A and B are shown apart, each in its own frame.
Chain A
Amino acid sequence: MSAIVHVEDFSFKYRDTKRRAVKHVSFDVEEGSCFAIIGANGSGKSTLCNALVGLIPHYFVGARAGRILIDGVDVAESTIAELSNTIGLVFQNPFNQLSYTAGTVAEELAYGLGNHGVARELMIERVEAVAKLMRIDHILDKNPLELSGGQVQRVAFGSTFIMEPRVLVLDECTTQLDPLGASEIFDIVKQLNADGVTVIMVDHDMERVAQYADTVMVLDRGSVAAIGAPYEVFADPELESHGVQPPDYVPLTRALGLPIEIREEPTIAAVKEVLA
């Protein structure tokens, strides 16, 4: 496997702010892997997401240093439109992702395809397939502005995923969804990942991160505080000093004097053994 995302000593300070939002961040994401970025609010996670898809420097203005390569292409020397062929971002606030020009959910889903000049027949086919997968096929004729938060989040995810990006960046993309809706979305993410799509996820749900990620990076006030396999990162007692709590299975197995577990099923099995 090779790195499809290469971040090298990247720093960024938004205009009109005093502090850098990210500082000297370096990491690689292997093609086909699931890479999680975690950290307290304000640690630089969303800034990094914006930088990966080119919103920094092409939309957000500020002082930047270092470089980011997506499939070998320098983000600063490309455009958001060109980058969107390879990498797509699902925004934290789905309402920020709507085009506000589409009158229906179907038009919203087709918006990016239209901009890329995809033929009408293929566009309709893809809209129908993605709508079915995202369980929004019953609201294709509705105005996106009349939907619930959960429905808009599904539309936002679908409008990114429909572009078939090789790298999918998910910035807390299920905050408006109930736990079942969120797990439905992550079932789709898991399938995409199994099909070779690289996933970069930002999430506050550490149980979910432990379940899906191959690699976890911890950001603390804009800097990389830790990076490694989920077990390595979550079992480290230092983690909480970076404003992040591990999955609940960690303090539980630790308190029971058992080998540390980071996922539900092995924890249940370990507790059953204690009770046996």
Chain B
Amino acid sequence: MRIELKGLEHAYSKTDKALDGVDLVLEGSEPVAIIGQNGAGKTTLVKHFNGILRPTGGSVEINGVDINTRSTAEWSREVGYVFQNPDDQLFLESVRKEFEFGPRQIGMDADTIARRVNEVAELTGLSKKLDVHPFDLTPTEKKFCTIGAVIMMDPAAVIFDEPTCGQDRSGNARLKTIIERLRGQGKLCITISHDMKFVTANFSRVIVMCHGTVLLDGSVNEVFAQTDILRRSFITPPPITRVAQGAGLKETVFTVPAFINAITKERNHHG
């Protein structure tokens, strides 16, 4: 899977450019996180990856094919998009029907659908909720229902728009498992998140957006070492990183063990 953007622009109105010339290549199966403050253009950007939105300038190519040559329904076989608000996505009477709907539309055979329903339900923690009405699910379960419905289509790339909203520790652990499983299957996971602990724990590549452009694009360590740029784009690093930076540690760290290593190195260096 390769998604290539060249000078991508999107304007919702004549005076309001939500994307202002984005050049980007996303490929392989290394999970990518997209961060930035509200209104930075993150959701507008990813909605171009399966044609929900169409460029008003520049181009989007999926595996070398111009996005404008196919419909969103056709692209959704290859690039799945999990909406930020589950209520924007769910419309059927049971979790099972939500899971079965997409694959049926693309002609997946009944046996494969039945097998995948069980696998995806187990992955999303909804095995016992398959016959429940989605509106009777908790907000977290609804989110996993939307994720499951998209994974059911077996797309080569999956976009998660703010999957960490309202998640507790076990919800975030399940998201981590899902992303790892998809990565193991060679799928490209692209995730928008405000949860910097989740981002630094699960993604090696991080893209920072600000005012409709890409401000930073690099490894998680490279990006979070740019303290001044992050501050200017109103991004707050996770707590452990803030403590390390506040105390003057040279290394960018995200976890307690990494912090202990860094502090030991500095003390040895000074000693």
Residues on A close to B: CB < 8 A? 40-42, 92-93, 95, 148-151, 172, 175-181, 183, 204, 207, 243-245, 247-249, 251-252, 255-256, 264, 267-268, 271-272, 274-275
Contact = CB atoms under 8 A, between A and B. Distances in A.
A150 B38 contact: yes
A198 B263 CA distance: 41
Contacts of B236: 179-180, 183
A200 B239 CA distance: 24
**Chain B interface size, under 10 / 10 to 19 / 20 to 34 / 35 or more:** 35 or more
Contacts, number: 110
B256 A252 contact: yes
A41 B171 contact: yes
A176 B243 contact: no
B222 interface: no
Contacts of A183: 236
Nearest to A181: B38
B238 A175 contact: no
Contacts of B235: 179
B116 to A, nearest CB: 26
B185 interface: no
A199 to B, nearest CB: 19
A178 B165 contact: no
A243 B173 CA distance: 12
The 7 closest A-B pairs by CB, nearest first: A150-B38, A268-B246, A271-B247, A248-B239, A178-B37, A180-B234, A179-B236
A178 B248 contact: no
Contacts of A245: 169
10 contacts: A41-B170, A95-B87, A148-B38, A151-B38, A181-B37, A244-B169, A248-B197, A248-B239, A264-B243, A267-B243
B228 interface: no
Point out which of A150, A248, A271, A272 has the most chain B C-beta atoms below 10 A from its C-beta.
Answer: A248
B256 A175 contact: no
A77 B169 CA distance: 37
Given A95-B87, A179-B196, 4 more contacts: A40-B168, A176-B165, A204-B166, A252-B240
A123 to B, nearest CB: 28
Given A172-B166, A179-B235, A268-B247, A95 B85 contact: yes
A263 to B, nearest CB: 10
Contact of B167 (A41, A148, A267): A41
Nearest to B197: A248
Interface in B227-267: 234-236, 238-240, 242-244, 246-249, 256-257, 259-260, 263, 266-267
Contacts of B267: 274-275
